[in-house]
Amino acid sequence: MKRIALFLATNIAILVVLSIVLNIFGVDSLLQENGVDLNMQAVLIFAAVFGFGGAFISLGLSKFMAKRAMGVQIIERPSNSSEQWLVETVRRQAQAAGIGMPEVGVFNSPEPNAFATGANKNKALVAVSTGLLQNMTADEVEAVLGHEVAHVANGDMVTMALIQGVINTFVIAISRVIGHFVDRVILKNEQGYGLGYFATVIITEIFLAVLASVIVMWFSRQREFRADRGGADLAGREKMIAALRRLQERAHGEDMPGQLAAFGISGKGKSGIARLFMSHPPLEERIAALEQMR
């Protein structure tokens, strides 16, 4: 119920904020002065429906797509002691975190990595790579599992979907307002929408989406610090630090593909402006944050 209320409140807040922003910049008056009538309310509702709709459809399909994209083999009945330990560790941590037992799976990758996903924190998925199991100690794997369980318990998947929905709404609405302005005011097109409108919308959406991704990635980095703290609470701070140090040794490995990169535990370090587009903070910063944690 709280998540539904948050979703509705966020939608309403976005519509209000966008209306205020557009009024402050005098978009309505400018269009009226040029004899152009734009149904701003309809544009905002359209943007909110498609902006949040796309984000939540992606969230709803996240577990299914992750299984297919990464080739995750779900452990339904443990076939050996390693799988038994993996399932029992996740079960114990899930109980400690107050969430339902996630599905536990393994995907084939030489790089140490893991991710958690799912629309419902009581029906999530926690998956680890074969490389992680082969290159980390049991204590380090336990810490990584704690990090992923913390992601689920914190509701990070839903939170990121809400943030992406907010960003999508802004991008869709503003690009269409700019496109309408170019088509009607600059190109003086009075019937229907011409090529200028569609070209402007596409170019503006791409540009704004790139800028907006900086905001999304900032939130993603903050949730990584929080999940590290959660992993430290569930498995122990020293184990969590040891796991991150182990990942540092393999820092040149490849990220997971597409959107799944934001849900993995490692992430590659970057510098300069590329740092703004990182889904994960540098490992040295995450280790330092844990060392300062009381």
- Let me know if 148 is a catalytic residue: yes
Q: 247 is written with which tokens? A: 């990942």
- Among 94, 84, 106, CA closest to 148: 94
Reported as type and span, the H/E element at residue 264 is none
- In sequence order, the β-bridge partners of residue 93 are none
Could you say which of 140, 142, 148, 224 is catalytic?
148
- In sequence order, the β-bridge partners of residue 73 are 106
CA distances 22 to 27, 143, 199, Å, are 6, 47, 22
Reported as type and span, the H/E element at residue 49 is helix 40-70
Q: Are 146 and 231 in contact (CB under 8 A)?
A: yes
CA distances 204 to 173, 212, 262, Å, are 11, 12, 25
Q: 183 is written with which tokens? A: 């088509």
Q: Which positions are catalytic?
A: 148
